[in-house]
Chain A
Amino acid sequence: MTDRQWSSLNEQEFDCLLEQSLPPLPPNDVAAEVDPGREALTRVLLGIALTHVTVQFLSLHYILPLAGAILMLLGFRTLRRENRWFSACWWVSVSRTALTLFQYALYSTPLRVELAGTRFETLFAASVFLLEGSRYLFFWLALRSVRRKAGLTPGAWSAAALVPWYAGAAVMARYSAGDRRAAFTMAVLYVIILYVLLRIPRDLDGAGYVLSPTPIRRSDRAVTLSLLAVLAAGLLCGFLFLERYPMDWDPVSAEENASVTEVKAHLRALGLPEDILNDLTGEELLACAGAVRVLTETEEQTLRKHRGAALRAVSAAIELPDGRWTVIYHFRWANAPGFHGTQCLSLSSMSDTPNASVGVEEVTGRLLCEVDGQTRTADYHSSEVGSVDIPFDGHTLPGTQGWFTFSFPEEGTDLRGYLLYTVEEVPSDHLLGTTFRHSVQTGRFQYPAVDARSAVPGAFSSLPDLPAFDVLGFSVYFYPNGY
């Protein structure tokens, strides 16, 4: 047949001639792959394989599981009307994908760190476990139903292996994370799951031809783009609106009674800096009534990652009439970083006498700033103080460590705050020594997001390298009885 003859045909004639001109046998690959459930089943199996990738390289441990979740969703979407078990798989996939998107969006805000160890986290993890486990169970039952429909024995035992595999992998991940042997075992389990997944299509034994895929109204691309748009919106919300701790800022009362004024004058005369005097509460000032002497230290540091941002720390030790000492650490941003994210003050103190260490639950303090010409104050977002044994020079010393988290308002200026604690007594030849670490979130976009508290894990531990954080250290030492 000449070229001209082909081209002279109208559409109907061309179609007819094509039908008649096809080779008698279809190509082998075509015959093998013209299959109603193949596309959907391939997506489901590939989705299962990708969901459990935990390779921490180029963010693959985020991208691949998300791709796996979407593939399973699309695969089960097509099969959802085949039988009730596939329908259950579909609904579980919808729920699981929603949880995945929520979790990924949550990772964009440092507030997620606060959920660690809470009932919410436990519930969330339990929900994920139940959804994943039930999906594998329903999938097995769905394949059995398909085999039964095709007149075969139910079987599908390859798919049944998914259920115990997942249970084992979940337990391993929960209780042995970080362990090398556990990581090796997980890798072996993953190879097993890939082997199982490859056997499932064979296990169907031709029953796949009885599947009745459901027509779709929205293309896979449209669904995928919609899901990614939802995720992007969630991430943006986290980055833009949830990058600081929620704080309650109240106006400071300017009233001051005569007693407070008298104590302030006395402390001023002893040398307590104005920075501290003006910011302490009336109660705190009255507690220092009759002070014997005041020792002070001042230091200013600039952030490494945000040149131009400078923090001024003024520390004071006030000897009280009964021999106790009140130690105050006051900080003020001489030049605050442009981004007001999370911040954390960590305190660590040790002494070779129990009474000279900071007592638990005795650390107080507050934050202050100016907003629209008015001074506002807030309590720390969270505070945790505890005793600790510190290894020192071959033995251990009693110590105290604490963490105080906070955030300043975006519109705030003259950002400052302080911590105050009391020491019972300082024997001769001893010192009052405290180390303060001030971690500052300097970057808005970090993923997964951590808070400033994470940048100062242990008062005596080395600091993790977190790109979005800078840490300033201030060592405050007073020698009440001379050096």
Chain B
Amino acid sequence: MNATRVIHLIRMRDDRGMDELLLHYGPLMRYVISPILPDPLDREECLSEAAMRVWEHIQRFDPEKGSWTAWLTAVTRNAALNRAKKYKDHLSTEELSPDLPSPQPTPEEELLRRERQEAVRRALYQLPDRDRRLFYRKYYYFQSTAQIAAELNLTERAVEGRLYRIKKRLRDRLGGDAHD
């Protein structure tokens, strides 16, 4: 798999780029979409949508800001969340753009959001790597406890326990005692 090649083909508007994207990164994109969209048909439509977003917004990929995998999973996740919003499930209600959420917030909202993100980012980086990955699985990729447990070779109870401790630690770092 050669990410550089795929990126280059898409930037050159070569159709093979889309083929290579779906061939080599289709499984990853489906993996990201699956926890967010339960319906198989929805998933395939979302996959096509996400692939189109990659095609249309490839210029926004900046290796300085993140890896290809990170950017691709972010675009795919956002496409899935936007689609899920239509069914009014419990996931984020914000409209998410292909590469960044909140395309048109107010200046105050934008400032607040950035402050929160920075606080959360600082708190997350103080977590051990293993805990940080577990957290992202749950709160970024929206994976179920069962899926996380199966993929990390843990029991569901162990995952729940770890998530509880992670959140408590985050709450402590972000400010105040745990609030039940």
Cβ of A394 within 8 Å of any chain B Cβ, yes or no, is: no
What are the interface flags for B88-107 relative to A under an 8 Å C-beta threshold, 1 for contact and 0 otherwise? 00011010000111000000
Cβ of B121 within 8 Å of any chain A Cβ, yes or no, is: yes
Q: A7-B171, A25-B65, A30-B132 are in contact. Are A205 and B1 (CB under 8 A)?
A: yes
Q: A22-B117, A209-B27 are in contact. Are A220 and B153 (CB under 8 A)?
A: yes
Cβ of B39 within 8 Å of any chain A Cβ, yes or no, is: no
Tell me if B27 and A213 are in contact (CB < 8 A). Answer: no
Tell me if A206 and B1 are in contact (CB < 8 A). Answer: yes
A residues less than 8 Å from B174 (CB atoms): 3, 6-7
Tell me if B69 and A1 are in contact (CB < 8 A). Answer: no
Cβ of B52 within 8 Å of any chain A Cβ, yes or no, is: no
A residues less than 8 Å from B113 (CB atoms): 20-21
Cross-chain contact of B116 among A1, A208, A210 (Cβ < 8 A): A1
CA distance A35 to B151 in the complex (A): 8
A residues less than 8 Å from B69 (CB atoms): 28, 31-32
Cβ of A151 within 8 Å of any chain B Cβ, yes or no, is: yes
Query: Using a Cβ–Cβ cut-off of 8 Å, how many residues does chain B contribute to the interface with A?
Result: 58
Cβ of B25 within 8 Å of any chain A Cβ, yes or no, is: yes
Binding-face segment, B9-17, B42-50, B136-144: B136-144
B65 to chain A, nearest CB (A): 6
Cβ of B167 within 8 Å of any chain A Cβ, yes or no, is: yes
Cross-chain contact of B67 among A2, A28, A205 (Cβ < 8 A): A28
CA distance A17 to B175 in the complex (A): 14
B71 — nearest CB in chain A belongs to which residue? A25
Query: Using a Cβ–Cβ cut-off of 8 Å, how many residues does chain A contribute to the interface with B?
Result: 60
B157 — nearest CB in chain A belongs to which residue? A219
A residues less than 8 Å from B65 (CB atoms): 25
Cross-chain contact of B23 among A25, A26, A78, A152 (Cβ < 8 A): A152
A214 — nearest CB in chain B belongs to which residue? B150
Cβ of B38 within 8 Å of any chain A Cβ, yes or no, is: no
Cross-chain contact of B73 among A22, A26, A152, A215 (Cβ < 8 A): A26
B174 — nearest CB in chain A belongs to which residue? A6
Tell me if B116 and A21 are in contact (CB < 8 A). Answer: yes
Output the residue of B31, B92, B101, B112 with the most chain A CB within 10 A.
Answer: B31
Tell me if B112 and A7 are in contact (CB < 8 A). Answer: no
Tell me if A213 and B30 are in contact (CB < 8 A). Answer: no
CA distance A207 to B28 in the complex (A): 8
CA distance A442 to B70 in the complex (A): 64
B residues less than 8 Å from A206 (CB atoms): 1, 24-25, 27-28
CA distance A122 to B38 in the complex (A): 54
Tell me if B70 and A31 are in contact (CB < 8 A). Answer: yes
B residues less than 8 Å from A4 (CB atoms): 175-176
Cβ of A464 within 8 Å of any chain B Cβ, yes or no, is: no
What are the interface flags for B113-133 relative to A under an 8 Å C-beta threshold, 1 for contact and 0 otherwise? 101110111000000010011
Q: A21-B119, A39-B153, A215-B146 are in contact. Are A34 and B175 (CB under 8 A)?
A: no
A104 to chain B, nearest CB (A): 24
Tell me if B74 and A25 are in contact (CB < 8 A). Answer: yes
Q: What 6 additional pairs, Cβ within 8 angstroms, besides A26-B70, A35-B151?
A: A1-B116, A19-B91, A25-B71, A27-B66, A27-B132, A216-B155
Closest 7 CB pairs of A and B: A7-B176, A3-B175, A209-B27, A31-B70, A21-B116, A209-B31, A25-B66
